[in-house]
Structure 1
Amino acid sequence: MLIPAAVAVAGGVLALLWNPSAQTRSLIQHFAAGVVLSALSVELLPEIGREHARPWVLIASFAAGSLLMFGLKLLTEKLESGAEHSKHSGVAAAGAALPVGLLLATFIDIATDGFIIGAGFASGGESGLILALGLLVELLFLGLALMSDALKGWRMVVLTTLLGVVVFVFAALGNWLLSGASHDVMGAVLAASAAALLYLVTEELLIEAHEVQEKNYSVLVLFAGFLSFWAVQLLA
């Protein structure tokens, strides 16, 4: 559980040393999307099947997870709209304002990722470790995604350190809460987690990756991310 936490901190340090172009960021996001999709399809969905939870529990939990992420999207848009309005009306303080909506969404996403990792450990087998490896790419490049005029230098290191702590705390919390849980409870948590990961790919990583003019080989980078995680799972 300490591995993804340490990688999140390393992402902040990386953001201090490297400022990639928009095209490079897009390729990184394609690769990360491929890795998360692979973690979802190769490890998480089969693990849900192995729990043998009742079908209606899984369906309801996936739907609830989807609605939760949609609610998060609406909240984020509202906060960002409010921050933009304050900036234009002169309410914001001097200097670059912190992107409150983006930070809130990021902390909730990271907490969800940590809880998913903890649930994987609680379900037994290698699921926790494999899911942790699958989310490493996202955590490593998180600092690059958050870098802005308001978040740079020591602020970025402090922020990614806090995110690393959040990952570890929620991973430990998920493992503790779900150890010995029934098949229905474990299946429900994993199904909601699957919805959260699907949201991460479709509404965050790929949308941000498509904001720039893509190279024609970008899709190959996505497949490379998928294959790299699958290869790790097969060889493990």
Structure 2
Amino acid sequence: MDADDAPPTLAQALAPPSQAIWLIRPKHPNDLSKTSHASLLGVTMLTTVLLYALAPVATMALGGLIAAFRTPGPKLGSAIQHFAAGVVFAALAVEILPDVVHRDAPLASLGGFAAGVLLMLGLRVAGRRLEGEEGRNKDQSEGSTPSTDAGRRSLGMVLVVGTDVLIDGVLIGIAFAAGAKAGVLIAIALAIELLSLGLATSAALGKGGISRTRSILTTAGLALLPLVGAIAGTLLLGDLSGGWMEAVLAFAAATLLYLVTEELLVEAHAVPEAPWMTAMFFVGFVILLLIDMVGSPPGG
């Protein structure tokens, strides 16, 4: 047996963690440095993702706190949703979609895009069924307390919102896997979107009879899920290669497109619109577009 391949001694096995890396002796002098460099890059990327993922966490919790004390009016809520839709659409248009097209993998892109659409449609169907079942249970229940009714009514919404924001976090991890600039723009866009969602969630909980304290705590708990999703997206999807990364990026494109067209804009159009409210979509779009242009190197 080669001396380098010999198992570690008891003293080596009990060595402090700072010395543990030397228990694995590379057969080639550069192996250890390459491994250490790759590990350092992975830790650095995860740290960066976590830092930017804190922005959506903070904005959703802030939105929940604001709405618990003063619910925004319908027009202001619609304007915020228009603005958030414009920002998300700009991030999709200037970063994710060009990257998907540039990679030139039509079959992988088709599969990922279809998976994203099916997932979002499935979540919508599941959410509506859950809300319908809760409504029937409410009609059939007798002798239930107001707090029990409020908890039952809010359960479906919390589950749907929780799944939605968890996916948002995964999208942040996917975007950073595609590139640092894409990750930053998606994190900014989703931070604004989750501010709107935090406002709406806390307001809906309050209207459903949930106490102010419970509304704040519930929204704050939901706000942590993007952080969990970002970690999962980075660790599970950050090192994909071949056609898998193309499929994941197309999946992200589909979910973001659904977020804009079937969630933000649908909710924004639920109230009579004034021209200034509609204009907020374009304001959000051009602001993120300018951020992308300013942040890009000359000629890049």
Structure 1 residues 126 and 90, CA gap change in structure 2 (3 angstroms):
same
1:205 corresponds to which of 261, 264, 268: 264
Q: Which has the bigger relative contact order, CA under 8 A and spacing at least 6? A: 1
Q: Matches of residues 109-120 of structure 1 in structure 2 within 5 Å?
A: 109-120=164-175
The answer to whether the 8 Å contact 1:62/1:192 transfers is yes
Deviation of 1:64 (Å): 1.4
**Residue 156 of structure 1 corresponds to which residue in structure 2?**
215
Q: Matches of residues 59-74 of structure 1 in structure 2 within 5 Å?
A: 59-74=110-125
Deviation of 1:203 (Å): 1.4
Q: Matches of residues 161-200 of structure 1 in structure 2 within 5 Å?
A: 161-200=220-259
**Residue 9 of structure 1 corresponds to which residue in structure 2?**
61
Further displaced range: 93-102 or 127-136: 93-102
Deviation of 1:32 (Å): 1.1
Deviation of 1:7 (Å): 2.1
SS of the aligned residue for 2:153 comes to coil
Structure 1 residues 47 and 30, CA gap change in structure 2 (3 angstroms):
same
Mapped partners of 1:93, 1:34: distance in 2? 43
- Does 2:72 correspond to 1:26? no
Deviation of 1:141 (Å): 2.2
**Residue 128 of structure 1 corresponds to which residue in structure 2?**
183
Q: What TM-score results when the alignment is normalised by the length of structure 1?
A: 0.92
**Cα distance per residue 1:130-177 (max 9 Å; x no partner):** 110011111112222112333451222222222222111110111111
Q: What TM-score results when the alignment is normalised by the length of structure 2?
A: 0.73
Q: Matches of residues 72-111 of structure 1 in structure 2 within 5 Å?
A: 72-90=123-141, 93-95=144-146, 96=150, 97-111=152-166
User: Among the aligned pairs, what percent are the same residue?
Assistant: 39
Structure 1 residues 91 and 189, CA gap change in structure 2 (3 angstroms):
farther
Deviation of 1:193 (Å): 1.3
The answer to whether the 8 Å contact 1:86/1:92 transfers is no
Deviation of 1:107 (Å): 1.1
Deviation of 1:18 (Å): 2.8
The answer to whether the 8 Å contact 1:143/1:156 transfers is no
Mapped partners of 2:215, 2:199: distance in 1? 9
Structure 1 residues 118 and 152, CA gap change in structure 2 (3 angstroms):
farther
* Larger Rg belongs to: 2
SS of the aligned residue for 1:213 comes to coil
The answer to whether the 8 Å contact 1:8/1:164 transfers is yes
- Ranges in structure 1 where 5+ consecutive residues have no aligned partner: none
Number of equivalent positions: 235
**Residue 197 of structure 2 corresponds to which residue in structure 1?**
142
- Ranges in structure 2 where 5+ consecutive residues have no aligned partner: 1-52, 296-300
Cα root mean square deviation, aligned? 1.8
**Residue 34 of structure 2 corresponds to which residue in structure 1?**
none
**Cα distance per residue 1:72-128 (max 9 Å; x no partner):** 111111011111222223359422243333222211111111001011112233211
Query: Which amino acid letter does the alignment assign opposite residue 98 of structure 2?
Result: P
The answer to whether the 8 Å contact 2:174/2:252 transfers is no
Deviation of 1:5 (Å): 1.8
